[in-house]
Chains A and B, each alone.
Chain A
Amino acid sequence: MIEKALSGNRLYWAWLAFLLVIMGVGGLSYVQQFNYGLGITGMSRDVSWGLYISQFTFLVGVAAGGVMLVLPYYLHNYKVFGRITILGEFMAVAAVAMCLMFILADLGQPMRALNVLLHPTPNSILFWDMIVLNVYLFLNIVGGWVMLNAEKKEMPPPKWVKGLIYLSIPWAISIHTVTAFLYCGLPGRHYWLTAILAPRFLASAFAAGPALLVICALILRRFTAFDVGKEAISKLVTIITYAAILNFFFVGLEFFVGYYSNIPGHMHTLDYLFFGLTDAAGNVYDNLVLPMRFSMVIGMAATIALLFPGMRDTYTKIGWLCGMIFLSLWIDKGLGLVLGGFVPTPMEYITEYYPTGIELMITAAVWATGFFILTILYKVAISVKLTKES
């Protein structure tokens, strides 16, 4: 089936070549990081996780978002998602692949990564995260591929694959819950130490993942003959709207608990992210205030807009609103959540983080690799579906 990825029009090859260039430049940047050490990034003793781990966290959500298609289609036999579900499964594959690459990029001693398996440590959440992510990758690639192959051969799929697909549903919840546990189980990091973190992660995931999927489906519709169908898009937009509302509700809960309880530790990071902090010497620290406010404004505006039928009656409007929600959640979770958690430090100092050029290149390269995988998988899926129909 993979041979279907080897034929395509000029646009297809140009897109792949573009991604390969970014991957190449990022690969060279990684060689530099590998030789010098992580000091080549903007991370420091105070902000010891940066862009890599924050992208990882966000992408676990994108991966988990695929379940919003798998669940209605396979569990409730919701036929409208018949053409789009495979896109969700393959998006999960690409997203988990990016997660694993970001983890590797973040390790100080990447050659020792397998120590996690050689010395299994069940009390470490990172150990469990590695397990659930790899299993989720396996469930989605096997589930998606076998179902697609059966469709190609016009044979009923083997019975065992249904078991894997059903398992992937609770598993999607598990990957993002365990990823939230990485943060919310740490004493002394007040911004993360909240039981709402896992539900908030899931809500934002079920908005961001499907939002990216809608954008991909609209791009495919524009550049290929593959159309997932108006009803599928419309249903997905409804799911995105509900999930986004839940997410912003949860954000509001964080604000209430912090500011009504008036406990400094619960307010500090929110202050830093949304209003900026000033130290005793009068220095102002607010490098995330603009992005975070922007994130809240466009996210909430798009969510409210989606409530009005007149705002979702054309693909162009839907595309823009989904793009706004995706960008909003990317800023909130892909930047603010991880970086904000380190401010202030346990000793109540404020250190701001700025990624370096090399770090940005490596980050871009991982995203490019993810989209490369996604493009190949989508090409195969679309070719199979279109061949069958013609």
Chain B
Amino acid sequence: MDNSRRKFLKIAGLSAIAGIAAPTAFNGLLKGEAQASSASGGGHGGTGAASGKRYGFVIDVSKFARDKGLAQRCIDACHSIHNVPDYGNKKDEIKWIWTDGFENVFPDHSHYKKNADLHDAPILTLCNHCDNPPCVRACPTKATFKNPDGLVLMDFHRCIGCRFCMAACPYGARSFNWRSPRELDAAGNYKYIKNPKPEFPTRMRGVVEKCNMCAERLAEGKIPACVEEARGANAMVFGDLNDPRSRISKVLARKFTIQRKPALGTHPSIFYII
């Protein structure tokens, strides 16, 4: 085969491939455009995977504003069953669920001439158990992962403590064990964990932790501890977002709710009724 013929065949072949591929690629682009506005649920909101379970919460801020002590009772319920240490300083602080101001939880929302009710309403905040979690993407060891029920969980035994997930989380939901939470006092009791619960493991220093949506309670058929605490006031609803007949789906269909930083495309599973 002489050189020019080989060249001709090469060019012909390449042109043919390009001719076939270009329209297909173009169609693909168009399809992508169509998807951006429909399948992901209006660009920012997000429906996530429709198969399998996806547990989430609805938090009714007005109920927490009415009963000022309720949020703290939810926090205590969570932190006590999960052996979350209290060091009494901000630098070492570990928290799974806490309250913050409206402008801190929703910095992208306007708080110019904020509704009077919101001024000192404690807004409960915790891990959003995103459907598209940036922390899971960042973790170099799969120590943080999404389980089949949509829970974003931690494997404390695999975490190397690089804290990439903390930088990746846009919600400030993650805490690091800067020191050992297992430190004992002279009497041999945990210094920083009041009434430790043997049912749940304490952590070692140097690993990241956060809300696990009470995965251990869900496994026993119970609901998360904070939701149980708020049930009397009807301030929180827990359930499967992918089940259209679940109570949470019905509440979401009826009420206007917002999510934290929806523009980031993380698809949080925590919704707020303001």
Contact = CB atoms under 8 A, between A and B. Distances in A.
A91 to B, nearest CB: 26
A183 B164 CA distance: 9
B161 A108 contact: yes
Interface in A94-117: 103, 106-110, 112-113, 115-116
A39 interface: yes
Interface in B60-112: 90-94, 100, 103-105, 107
The size class of the interface chain A forms with chain B is: 35 or more
A311 interface: no
Interface of B: 90-94, 100, 103-105, 107, 125, 134, 136-143, 158-164, 166-172, 175-180, 204-208, 261, 264-266
A125 B167 contact: no
A189 interface: yes
A188 B264 contact: yes
A45 B162 contact: no
Contacts of A37: 177-180, 205-206
28 contacts: A36-B205, A39-B92, A39-B178, A44-B90, A44-B178, A45-B91, A48-B163, A48-B167, A107-B206, A108-B160, A108-B162, A108-B163, A108-B177, A109-B204, A110-B160, A113-B160, A115-B160, A121-B142, A123-B137, A124-B137, A186-B134, A189-B170, A341-B167, A345-B172, A346-B171, A347-B171, A348-B104, A349-B104
Of A38, A110, A341, the most chain B CB neighbours within 10 A belong to: A38
A107 B161 contact: yes
A110 B103 CA distance: 38
Contact of B100 (A39, A43, A109, A347): A347
A130 interface: yes
Contacts of A39: 91-92, 178-179, 205
A189 B177 CA distance: 22
Nearest to B180: A37
Contacts, number: 144
B225 to A, nearest CB: 22
B176 A38 contact: yes
A158 interface: no
Contacts of A127: 140
A347 B107 contact: yes
A126 interface: yes
A49 B169 CA distance: 14
Given A37-B178, A37-B180, A119-B158, A182 B164 contact: yes
B138 A186 contact: yes
A309 interface: no
Contact of A108 (B125, B134, B207): B207
A211 B256 CA distance: 58
